[in-house]
Amino acid sequence: MPSARPPAPLTSNAPSTGRTAPVHEAIACDVFCAVIDNFGDIGVCWRLARQLASEYGWQMRIFVDDLHAFQKLCPALDLDRSRQAVSGIVIEHWHEPSHAGETLEVADVAIEAFGCELPHVYVAAMARRERPPVWLNLEYLSAEDWVADFHLRRSPHPRYPLTKTFFFPGLGAGTGGVLKERHLDAARATFEASPQMRAGWWQNAIGAPAPEPDATVISLFSYENPVIDSLLGQWRDSPTPIVLLVPEGRISGAIARFFGLPGFAAGTHAARGNLRAHALAFTDQPGYDALLWASHLNFVRGEDSFVRAQWAARPFVWHIYPQADDAHLPKLDAALAHYAGPLPAPARAALARFWHAWNGTGRPDWADFQRHRAAFEQRAAAWAVELAAPGDLAGNLAEFTKSQLK
């Protein structure tokens, strides 16, 4: 466990509750998270905070402006409390940009997630601290090459004697890596090796035993997607059974329409031809990992589920978060270059075609994808090893912080 120096006292008049006792034993870290939409912003912050707390002994506090989004993946959260602790992590409902908690306390490390701005009072208090905190801007994940050049670049504050460091997640060397808990591979291996655990998972998820061995199990976590009807039709006509697992969300309306149902809420089951679909409840994050492990193929989206699918070491299809002016498309291709690069050319082309179609260019061809399933499976396993090479994000962040606190 890294040991930090005791935080210097604030010189402001603001009272401090001394949240880090005993301060000399643990690094205190504040994470600020403004939820733009969906679950990825808070999903990444929550995962990072839990890992820094459990693996590095840091005392974590999260400021988050949307408790509703947070509660979806952390059901223990109480929506009515402005300050609470869950799993040993303090959570503050961040009411407004200028709010920084009931009492102003500055931590050893301040992480502003995804360019959200720290409250001005907090920045001013950081500057008054004898030892200024390590100030990190945690950026969104991108697989593009420029990321390695910008990772750990520093930006001096225009007025205060403070420096912000940009921390860039990435898929390759020289980046901050991506989040991965130390226990993750062991947890997956245990799940995969235990028929009882898997049977229990299926019973809990769909109220029935695991599907027949020749069925292809697919999880579908996606934004609205105009080509979903085409794909559902191809799965309906598939020569072998397809079992589709759909966490309740933005794609659920389209699934309901395909089956002629009024909705596709958790607990709904439907079948047409060789396609059987089950609507699942949105779970906590460990529950989502189990869904990825229970499936042969995972459709994922955004940032955090995209990373979890890679650690699941199974083929996956990425629905990238769409940006204005198609700014997301080079990012999609950059990820493909890392992930699919070593595949044999026909398989690489088929994967690129399918990912592009799922992201708005062309029509997905399931038979074309299926033809290369064995190559995709091999590649997914190899990639999970390669992806670990730059080290995991929390470990890299802890190491960098330690070097700054010396």
**Nearer CB in complex with ligand TRH: 116/162:** 116
The distance of Cα 305 from the centroid of its chain, to the nearest Å, equals 5
Q: Is-catalytic flag, 105?
A: no
Rounded Cα distance between 267 and 261, Å, is 13
Give SS3 for 279.
Answer: strand
Amino acid at site 60: M
Site string for ligand TRH, 9-48 (x = CB under 6 A): ---------------------------xxxxxx-x-----
**Nearer CB in complex with ligand TRH: 105/303:** 303
Binding residues among 124-153 for ligand TRH as defined by CB under 6 A: 140
Binding residues among 339-378 for ligand TRH as defined by CB under 6 A: none
**Nearer CB in complex with ligand TRH: 248/365:** 248
- CA nearest neighbour of 282 among 264, 270, 297: 264
- Closest distance between ligand TRH and the C-beta of residue 315, in Å? 17
Write the CB contacts of 21 (distance below 8 Å, at least 6 apart in sequence): none
User: Which is the catalytic residue, given 41, 112, 144, 289?
Assistant: 41
- CA nearest neighbour of 1 among 48, 53, 45, 46: 53
Binding residues among 48-87 for ligand TRH as defined by CB under 6 A: 73
Binding residues among 192-231 for ligand TRH as defined by CB under 6 A: 221
Residue count, binding to ligand TRH (CB under 6 A): 22
Does 282 contact ligand TRH by CB under 6 A? yes
**Nearer CB in complex with ligand TRH: 74/123:** 74
Rounded Cα distance between 74 and 284, Å, is 6
Q: The dihedral of CA 337, 45, 314, 247: what is its sign?
A: negative
User: Which is the catalytic residue, given 144, 303, 304, 392?
Assistant: 303
Site string for ligand TRH, 235-264 (x = CB under 6 A): ------------x-----------------
Rounded Cα distance between 350 and 373, Å, is 10
Q: Is-catalytic flag, 303?
A: yes
Write the CB contacts of 97 (distance below 8 Å, at least 6 apart in sequence): 117, 119
Amino acid at site 28: A
- Closest distance between ligand TRH and the C-beta of residue 323, in Å? 8
- Closest distance between ligand TRH and the C-beta of residue 324, in Å? 12
Rounded Cα distance between 276 and 236, Å, is 8
**Nearer CB in complex with ligand TRH: 284/399:** 284
**Nearer CB in complex with ligand TRH: 234/311:** 311
Taking CA atoms, 397 is separated from 3, 44, 165, 232, 392, in Å, by 14, 14, 11, 42, 9
**Nearer CB in complex with ligand TRH: 150/321:** 321
Task: Pick the piece of the chain touching ligand TRH (CB under 6 A) from 6-14, 237-245, 297-305, 335-343.
Answer: 297-305
- Closest distance between ligand TRH and the C-beta of residue 78, in Å? 18
Taking CA atoms, 82 is separated from 42, 103, 106, 123, 164, in Å, by 16, 12, 18, 21, 28
3-state SS, 84-132, equals EEECCEEEEECCCCCCCCCCCCCCCEEEEECCCCCCHHHHHHHHHCCCC
- CA nearest neighbour of 291 among 184, 387, 198, 180: 198
Rounded Cα distance between 364 and 361, Å, is 9
Does 165 contact ligand TRH by CB under 6 A? no
Site string for ligand TRH, 300-339 (x = CB under 6 A): -xxxxx---------------x------------------
Q: Which of 12, 285, 361, 370 binds ligand TRH (CB under 6 A)?
A: 285
Give the binding site for ligand TRH (CB under 6 A): 36-41, 43, 73, 140, 221, 247, 282-285, 288, 301-305, 321
Residues with catalytic function: 41, 303
